[in-house]
Amino acid sequence: MRGDEAGTPAPTRERRSARADQPVVYSCSGCSSAAQTANALALKLDRLGEAEMSCIAGLGGDVAPLLRLARSGRPIVALDGCPLVCVVATLRRHGLTPDAHVVLSEHGVRKRRHADHDDGDVRRLLPLAVEAARSTRRAGGHDPAASGATPTSGGPVTARR
């Protein structure tokens, strides 16, 4: 794999394995402002090194390498923008349950069509997203064979062991 023309180096095996201890984050990235807020938060988690962002659309499209990552046993964080919870629905379609789940509309994010996300919402909710990612590390990782999880109102999903 080659780097891009801007000079970003291609991922190396060393860099990929360095992320193996991080949870994988999937976000809504639909057309509404709430969806784009979820996407912006997932990008922040990725860039801060709190989680590795992967592509929920790839899971919906049954893309083999992305399915392998989702089924790898790493903890999963789901960031949904609204009560439709498309991220969780896509994960469940593949027998996966997130270790942490945040629904942004439960935290005051309004879903507006034809509008950009609010950077203030991203700043306000970043600590919640970071805590969701970190909570999966404290929980001891993800068991892909176990699918029992209990949602907590507006916060992370707590896995039952």
Residue range of the domain that includes 75? 29-139+150-159
Provide DSSP, 19-71: TTTSPEEEE---SSHHHHHHHHHHHHHHHHTS-EE--HHHHHTT-HHHHHHHT
79 sits in which H/E element? strand 76-80
Amino acid identity of 114? H
User: Is 12 part of any domain?
Assistant: no
Q: Report how many domains make up the chain.
A: 1
In terms of pLDDT, which residue wins out, 149 or 125?
Answer: 125
Amino acid identity of 153? S
User: Is 92 part of any domain?
Assistant: yes
pLDDT the model gives residue 146:
42
pTM for this one? Answer: 0.79
User: Is 145 part of any domain?
Assistant: no
State how far the Cα of 22 lies from the Cα of 66, in Å rounded to an integer: 16
In terms of pLDDT, which residue wins out, 43 or 16?
Answer: 43
* Residue 11: exposure state from Cβ atoms within 10 A (0-12, 13-18, ≥19): exposed
pLDDT the model gives residue 160:
26
